[in-house]
Amino acid sequence: MKKFISIALALALAFPTAAVAQDRKERNNRVERTQNNERSSSNEQRSDSRQQSSKSHKFAKGERFDRSRAQNYSRVNYRNYSGLSAAPRGYTWVRAGDDALLVRLSNNVVTRVVGGVFR
């Protein structure tokens, strides 16, 4: 009889802790899923804001050039377009929307803006 009571007592003590551990595991999984959802939605919001800003952003002289904000980004051969001169060593012409920008390669600063070249 003592053996039966001790076994029953041991089982009664073992199962509630397993249930608590299971609850804790489920709670942690829920928290992780929530955090992952929040991260993914904030990443989507960031990418949406980048896309919106790339459509309307106009670069200015002295501004740091970021190709992710440039609509229709591409490097430009100055010979194909009037109004563009040869880029000095260490500089390149790039397209951002309808504008051509002369960008210094070492620090990505816009040194000249020629508007309406690609209309």
pLDDT of residue 52: 47
Distance between CA 81 and CA 83 in Å, rounded? 6
Q: Cβ(73)–Cβ(95) under 8 Å? A: yes
pLDDT of residue 20: 55
pLDDT of residue 37: 64
- Residue labelled with tokens 């899923």: 33
Q: How many helices (H) and strands (E) would you count in the chain?
A: 1, 4
Which helix or strand (DSSP H or E) is residue 40 part of?
Answer: helix 2-56
pLDDT of residue 53: 45
pLDDT of residue 29: 67
> ∠ CA(95), CA(101), CA(107), 5° rounding?
110
pLDDT of residue 2: 79
pLDDT of residue 86: 95
Q: Cβ(97)–Cβ(71) under 8 Å? A: yes
Q: Cβ(93)–Cβ(48) under 8 Å? A: no
Rounded to the nearest 10°, the torsion over CA 114, 111, 69, 90 is: 110
pLDDT of residue 1: 79
pLDDT under 70: residue ranges of the chain: 15-25, 27-56
pLDDT of residue 3: 81
